[in-house]
Amino acid sequence: MATISDVAKEAEVSVATVSRVLNKQNNVKKETAERVYKAIEKLSFEPNILARNFRKNESRVILIITPNITNPYYAHILTGIGDAASELGYSALIFNTANSIEKEKEGMEMLKKKRADGAILLASNSESKWLLDYEGKYPIIQCSEYDEEVKISRVSIDNYKAAKEVVEYLINQGHRRIATISSKNNYISTHQRMNGFVDTLKKHEILMRDSYVEYSSEDYSFHSGKAAAIRLLELKERPTAIFCISDTVALGAVAAAGEMGIKVPEELSITGFDNVDNTTMFHPYITTVSQPCFKLGENAMKMLFQRINSKTDSHEEMLLDYEFIARESTGPKKNKR
């Protein structure tokens, strides 16, 4: 492995000059630079990043704390982060927490040890108070999910508004018996979507019955969604629409309806959320809210970059546009024959 001083010798210049060439400072005479390039070529020299990082006290690595890369929703965000990071000269270290707070903390330790210059958190929730320890000390961004009380910059969509839009649509279609399949996790998105649901019902003076609120598993599994839907559909006064907290849950609801011989959307409208999970694989295609996952990731990375490379530590909040997409799983409420 050739080092910078080998190159210096070969080019008959000082290491400082080689370093200048390497870092594209334009205060090197053209011919000198030429000689240096030749030497680099000849020795097939590659700067040792370990040494450079050590010297500059930076790792050029950013940390992504994610509960689960197997979930396509996160995978898309990750891709956005990764691409932007690469663009900005950073590598993305993905740290899987499997929803364990311990693991999450362990991951964040990397910041202290300078293994990463900053972090993007994908799964903050209302139990992320421990994050306060990091607030202000390290460059951190919350992406998609966040803890409202932790003043760390974040990027997400307006889940409340999106949920309202979905429910308004259902009401416009004539639905009044609107149920929901939510989740008992602590994600801000869940809370906001539920608030949007409840508020819209209230606004239209539609009765909110307890029996119309069911729960899927914390990770919105297909089977838990299906089970919840079955409970809802076995009710005496069966709902004519179900507002689901996620696409997978909506898919579960569709499957439940299918097995119970209930036609979607003729007899039952179903909406999903996120637009990632096979919403257009089988009919009926799922009506849902599309999140700009890739952009979410991209912007999170850009924000983090700002944070790392400037001294500002203002607390920023960025909301990205979502899109409501009406498809085949919803339709006007039919009157009873």
Partner DNA sequence: CTGTTAGCGCTTTCAA
Partner DNA sequence: TTGAAAGCGCTAACAG
- What residues make contact with DNA under the rule CB under 7 A? 1, 3-5, 12-20, 22-23, 27-29, 31-33, 47-48, 51-52, 54-57
- Of the pair 114, 334, the CB lying nearest its own copies is at 114
Contact 187, 221 (CB under 8 A): no
* Contact by Cβ (8 Å): 325, 275: yes
Query: Which DSSP symbol is given to 132?
Result: G
What residue 337 binds from DNA, its own copies, none (CB within 5 to 8 A, per partner kind)?
A: none
Cβ 312 to DNA shortest distance, Å: 21
**Which positions from 94 to 133 touch its own copies by CB under 8 A, shown as an x/- string?**
xxx-------------x-xxxx------------------
On the 0-12 / 13-18 / 19+ scale of CB atoms within 10 A, 95 is middle
Which of DNA, its own copies, none does residue 24 bind (CB under 5 to 8 Å by kind)? none
Report the residue from 27, 30, 261, 281 that binds its own copies according to the rule CB under 8 A.
281
Query: What size, in residues, is the chain?
Result: 337
From the list 296, 312, 226, the residue with the least C-alpha distance to 66 is 296
Which amino acid is located at 238 in the chain? R
**If binding is defined by CB under 8 A, does position 263 make contact with its own copies?**
no
Residue 93 interacts, among DNA, its own copies, none and using kind-specific CB cut-offs from 5 to 8 Å, with its own copies
**Interacting stretch for its own copies, rule CB under 8 A, among 87-95, 132-140, 173-181, 182-190?**
87-95
Q: Which does 28 bind (CB under 5 to 8 A by kind): DNA, its own copies, none?
A: DNA
Residue choice 70, 312, 314, 335 for contact with its own copies (CB under 8 A): 70
Between 167 and 206, how does the x/- string for binding to its own copies read (CB under 8 A)? ----------------------------------------
Give strand pairing partners of 274.
290
* Contacting residues toward its own copies, per CB under 8 A: 46-51, 53-54, 57-59, 61, 68-70, 72, 75-76, 78-79, 82-83, 86, 91-96, 110, 112-115, 222, 251, 255, 258, 278, 281-282
